[in-house]
Copies of this chain bind each other. A is one copy, B any other.
Amino acid sequence: MSLGTTAKWTPREVGELLVESLPYIQRFANRIIVVKYGGNALAGSDEATAIQSFARDIALLRAVGMKPVVVHGGGPQISAMMERLGKKPEFVDGLRVTDAETIEIASMVLLGHVNPQIVNAINSYGAHAVGISGQDAALLRVRQRDTRLGFVGDIASVDTTVIHSVLNDGAVPVIATIGSDGHGQAYNVNADTAAAAIAGALGAQKVIFLTDVPGVLRDRSDVQSLVAQATRDEIAEMIRTGIIDGGMIPKVESCLHALDAGVPDAHILDGRVEHVLLIELFTEAGVGTMLVKGST
């Protein structure tokens, strides 16, 4: 292992900053933090660089005693591979029809491309990551949502045995959200929903959704209008009044599912900000939106 150099800071500054982080490290020691990563955050011109930075942050969380669990999707990457293989997507009510060939491609892309990319990146920073499919053991058992959609599954049960074993070995579980019906058939599962369900089943302290927006905005054109913290009721009101709409609705709904499953707090953070996980967990700086169950 080659050790980094800290030309940017004097040794004394390193010491000062490290002791500043002490209370944050103690606050989340041994806590499970589920991080939903992916899709848009993964795609783009500097995909590899973004994954490296994310992986390094995750390795740090593990090294200082937290138990991060990564859950990822990979929609854009699946679409790209479908195109490359000459397969044209179809949709019903805005949802992708997942026929036998599509689930095959999704499986290859998620398990064979996105997952090992994240696993390898985390491992390259001295941590131990282990890739897990929702089909492993009985992790994600699903039922079909709608026959017209084909192999799209809703989560019927979560068995966290394999995740706990990986955590107990001191490693980082990296989970691709392909589920199984128990009879050998794979189903695609929405990664946000899966992250919320897994966080609930694990008794996680936090679930963090890394997206490509700054968080919930009262005025989408004004980054300053960020909602730093909100309760269930406030979120419901914001949906009712149209402040939250479009693609943000499923994000906040996954957060609410996690809260309902007993996770104390759920975050929507901007995955494009470098070290956003560390900033959230190790500083008082307000980044993104935190949802909590009770009143603020």
Measuring CB to CB, which residues of chain A are less than 8 angstroms from any residue of chain B?
A: 1-6, 8-9, 11-27, 29, 52, 56-57, 59-60, 63-65, 84-85, 104, 107-113, 115-116, 119-121, 123-133, 135-138, 161-162, 165-166, 168-169, 171, 178, 180, 182-186, 274-276, 278-279, 282-285, 287
A22-B63, A109-B108, A275-B16 known; A169 and B161 CB under 8 Å?
A: yes
- Contacts of A274 on B, CB cut-off 8 Å? 12, 15
Contact A120 B282 (CB under 8 A): no
Task: Pick the contact of A29: B23, B63, B119, B282 (CB < 8 A).
Answer: B63
Task: Pick the contact of A60: B18, B110, B119 (CB < 8 A).
Answer: B18
Contact B12 A26 (CB under 8 A): no
- Contacts of A128 on B, CB cut-off 8 Å? 137-138, 161
Cα A178 to Cα B120 with chains together (Å): 11
8 A-B interface contacts by CB (under 8 A): A8-B16, A16-B275, A18-B18, A85-B85, A116-B133, A120-B135, A124-B182, A165-B169
- Contacts of A4 on B, CB cut-off 8 Å? 20, 22-23
Contact A124 B59 (CB under 8 A): no
Instruction: Other than A22-B60, A26-B126, A107-B113, give 16 A-B pairs with Cβ distance below 8 A.
Output: A3-B23, A6-B17, A12-B275, A18-B60, A19-B56, A19-B60, A22-B59, A22-B126, A63-B65, A108-B108, A108-B109, A123-B184, A124-B182, A130-B162, A131-B135, A165-B168
Cα A23 to Cα B85 with chains together (Å): 40
Contact A19 B57 (CB under 8 A): yes
Cα A22 to Cα B65 with chains together (Å): 12
Shortest CB distance A171–B (Å): 5
Contact B3 A284 (CB under 8 A): yes
- Contacts of A3 on B, CB cut-off 8 Å? 23-24, 27, 284
Shortest CB distance A143–B (Å): 16
Contact A284 B5 (CB under 8 A): yes
Task: Pick the contact of A180: B15, B123, B275 (CB < 8 A).
Answer: B123
Shortest CB distance A103–B (Å): 10
Shortest CB distance A70–B (Å): 13
Cα A57 to Cα B12 with chains together (Å): 12
Contact A136 B126 (CB under 8 A): no
Shortest CB distance A102–B (Å): 13
Cα A1 to Cα B22 with chains together (Å): 11
Shortest CB distance A177–B (Å): 13
Q: Which of A130, A132, A185 has the most CB of B within 10 A?
A: A130
